[in-house]
Amino acid sequence: MKLFKRVAQQRERRAFRVRNAVRASKRLRLSVFRSNKHLFAQIIDDSLGKTLVSAGTMEPGFRSGKSTGGNCTAAAQIGKLLAERALAAGIAEVAFDRGQYRFHGRVAALAEAAREAGLSF
C-alpha cells in the first residue's frame, strides 16, 4: 500500500510542478488527458478560464473506421487535428501541459504531430 500512495503523490507533485510552470509562461495552454482507451487534448485560456479548441478520440468523426484510440497513431492524428483547428482559430503559440504524464509514447506523439502541423510550443 505504501508504494501506491507514494506513486500517487509523485503524480500529483509532477502535475502541480508542470502546470504551475506552464501557467507562469502566460501563453495559452495545450492540456493533455490520457486514459487507457482514449486521448483528449484542449487549448485553454487561463485568464478567461475557457477552452478555445479541443480534440479527442471520442469524437464521432474520429471514431468511424478506427479500431482504437489508445495508441500512438491515434495520438498523432489527434495532435494534427488539434493543430489544424487551432490555426483556423488564429492560435499559433501555446505552452504544452503534459500534466502528470511523462513525455513519451502517446503524449510525445501528440506533441510532435501538433508541431509538424504548424503549432509552436
Residue 19 CB neighbours (<10 A): 17
Q: How confident is the model at residue 57 (pLDDT cuts 50, 70, 90)?
A: very high
Q: What confidence score (pLDDT) does residue 75 get?
A: 94
For 62-79, the pLDDT digits (tens) are 776 666 788 999 999 999
pLDDT > 90 fraction of the chain, expressed in percent and rounded: 78
Sketch out the chain's domains with CATH numbers. Answer: 2-116 (3.30.420.100)
CB 102 within 8 A of CB 111: no
Q: Is 42 exposed, middle or buried (0-12, 13-18, 19+ CB in 10 A)?
A: middle
Q: What confidence score (pLDDT) does residue 98 get?
A: 92
Q: What confidence score (pLDDT) does residue 65 get?
A: 64
For 36-50, the pLDDT digits (tens) are 999 999 999 999 999
pTM exceeding the 0.75 threshold for the entire prediction:
yes
Give the C-alpha separation, 23 to 34, whole Å. Answer: 20
Give the C-alpha separation, 69 to 41, whole Å. Answer: 13
